[in-house]
Structure 1
Amino acid sequence: MKDFKGKVAAITGAASGMGRSLAVELARRGCHLALSDINQAELDKTAQLASRHGVKVTTARLDVANRDAVFAWAAQAQADHGKVNLIFNNAGVMLAVPAESARIGDFEWVMGINFWGVVHGTQAFLPLLRASGDGHVINTSSLFGLMSMPTQGTYNASKFAVRGYTEALRMELEIEGAPVSATCIHPGGIATNIALAGRVDESVRQVTGVDAERLKKRAHRVIQTTTADDAALQILRGVERNARRVLVGPDARWYDRLVRLLGAGYQSVVVRQGRKQLQFALRRDAAEAKPGSGKTHGA
């Protein structure tokens, strides 16, 4: 797919972040849009921004973890637009919790959106992409679908699953000679609100030495590496060249090289850094807890 003009793209998680940027950039290139998100108010704002470029835009309030709802949206998108060429399974959430204390409900929430949402979107739209004669599945994994991190076990599980599922799908489509391809997206730190909107369990203190609110704010600062607009451009360039994998941002490319170079040894690097951060946090808390410091533990 070398040109998006006249095509129809469906995008989940289109109310903000990369989803919104993808929608606006595709509209600028003449691509019609079927947009969905759980946040209808912000989704409407995305639709208004995209509509300024003269393309047809439809919206649907959608929980991607609901399989029946995703299939109903796909059918509606086909009815509204007459065809669908691309599905961007972009919706995602973040959860920080140590692997040992992660509850089943934590896994169900993260996997329902991050992984099953991808599966539902792929299976609902794939017949439509085949019928278009020129289709592409774009599934969002993560840098954390290439490497694991402490407190990210549930998130890692969902994103590694997206990677495995998408790579298998791509090979199957190629063996078949289908008129559809698939690309797996691995963003690094993207300047969105995913960290602030995510969930952080208080048990993270045992691994990180900081409370949930401080860790959430730290994560939000750290991920401000690549703008959502720049991420969208990198993703679309990857689709245009039919890339199997798109590493978004300099941090994603750097850590990918690290993992390739060290193999499983990268874990030792992460462990050493994690221990240093934990010891620093414990020393800081001890100093703040001393009488006369004027500060309280965990502030």
Structure 2
Amino acid sequence: MKSFQDKVAAITGAGSGMGRELAIELAKQGCHLALSDVNEQGLAQTMSLLKAYPVRVTSTRLDVSQREAVYAWADAVVREHGKVNLIFNNAGVALGSTLEGVAYEDFEWIMNINFWGVVYGSKAFLPHLRASGDGHIINTSSIFGLFAVPANGCYNASKFAVRGFSECLRQEMELTAAPVSVTSVHPGGIKTNIAQAARMSSNLDGLLAKDGQSARDNFDKLFITSANRAARIILKAVRGNKRRVLVGPDAKFMDLLVRLLPSAYQRLVTAGARMQARRSL
């Protein structure tokens, strides 16, 4: 897909952050948009920012963890736009907790959104993407889908799962000569509200930070790439039909580190976590 002109893109998590910036950048390039988010206020703000562009834009409140709702939205997008060429499975949440202490309800919550939301979005839109003759699935994994860090095991699990699902789906599309491609996105620290909106378990208090808010603030300090910059990198990768896109210098550095030290990197991460804890407590 060398051009987004007159294409139709569906985006989850479009009410803020990368989802909003993807919508704006696509609108600039003449792409029609179907936007969704569980946050209706944020979604309305995104819609208002798109009024300046001569493209058709629709919006739907959507909880991506609800399979039937995702399928209904996919069908609605085609009814409203006549077709759909791209699905950006971008919605995601964060959870800070030890794996030993995490409540199953919290673990299920993050997996239902971060992983199953991607599965539902991919499978619901796939028949429509095939019918378009020029389709692309873009699934947001994470830098934490490439390496593991303490206190983020549930997030790691969800993002590693997205990576595996996306890479396998890409191979299957190629084996069947489908007119659909797949790109796995691995952002580093992107300046969004995901850290401040994260659920933080009290089992982390005194382990890596003084309390949950301190842990959120520590993560915020690692966010170095703007959401707009991330969106432009992702869209460039889609035009280039890349299998994987690393977003930000931190993502590129950690990818290289894990390639060079596939097991030993864990010692470095643990040492870094200890240093961060001493500064925070």
TM-score bracket, normalised by the shorter chain, equals over 0.9
Report the number of matched residues.
Answer: 281
What are the residue-to-residue correspondences of 1:65-214 with 2, within 5 Å? 65-214=65-214
Paired letter, 1:233: R
Paired letter, 1:173: M
Q: Deviations over 1:132-164 (max 9, x none)?
A: 000000000000000000100000000000000
Q: How far apart, CA to CA, are the structure 2 residues paired with 1:239 and 1:15?
A: 21
Residues 28 and 50 of structure 1 are in contact (CA less than 8 Å); yes or no, is this contact kept in structure 2?
no
| Residue number in structure 1 paired with 2:57 | 57
In the TM superposition, residue 41 of structure 1 has moved relative to its aligned partner by 1.5
Paired letter, 2:125: F
**C-alpha RMSD of the superposition:** 1.0
Residues 98 and 207 of structure 1 are in contact (CA less than 8 Å); yes or no, is this contact kept in structure 2?
no
| Residue number in structure 2 paired with 1:229 | 228
Q: How far apart, CA to CA, are the structure 2 residues paired with 1:216 and 1:53?
A: 35
| Residue number in structure 2 paired with 1:25 | 25
TM-score, normalised via structure 1 length: 0.92
Structure having the higher helix fraction is: 1
SS in 2 for 1:177: coil
SS in 2 for 1:30: coil
What are the residue-to-residue correspondences of 1:252-291 with 2, within 5 Å? 252-282=251-281
In the TM superposition, residue 202 of structure 1 has moved relative to its aligned partner by 1.4
Q: How far apart, CA to CA, are the structure 2 residues paired with 1:221 and 1:151?
A: 17
Paired letter, 1:128: H
Residues 1:249 and 2:218 aligned together:
no
Residues 27 and 51 of structure 1 are in contact (CA less than 8 Å); yes or no, is this contact kept in structure 2?
no
SS in 2 for 1:264: coil
SS in 1 for 2:164: helix
Consecutive unaligned residues of structure 1, counting only runs of 5 or more, are 283-299
Of all paired residues, the percent bearing the same amino acid is 56
Instruction: Report which structure shows greater RCO (CA 8 Å, sep ≥6).
Output: 2
Q: Deviations over 1:165-223 (max 9, x none)?
A: 00000000011110000000000000001000111111112531421111111112222
Q: How far apart, CA to CA, are the structure 2 residues paired with 1:34 and 1:172?
A: 26
TM-score, normalised via structure 2 length: 0.98
Q: How far apart, CA to CA, are the structure 1 residues paired with 2:32 and 2:229?
A: 21
Q: How far apart, CA to CA, are the structure 2 residues paired with 1:39 and 1:280?
A: 35
In the TM superposition, residue 106 of structure 1 has moved relative to its aligned partner by 1.0
For the pair shown, which has the larger CA radius of gyration, 1 or 2?
A: 1
In the TM superposition, residue 280 of structure 1 has moved relative to its aligned partner by 4.4
Paired letter, 1:33: L
Residues 205 and 212 of structure 2 are in contact (CA less than 8 Å); yes or no, is this contact kept in structure 1?
yes
Paired letter, 1:137: I
> Mean Cα displacement is larger for which, 210-219 or 69-78?
210-219
Paired letter, 1:32: H
Q: How far apart, CA to CA, are the structure 2 residues paired with 1:2 and 1:45?
A: 29
In the TM superposition, residue 272 of structure 1 has moved relative to its aligned partner by 1.5
| Residue number in structure 2 paired with 1:287 | none
Q: How far apart, CA to CA, are the structure 1 residues paired with 2:180 and 2:60?
A: 24
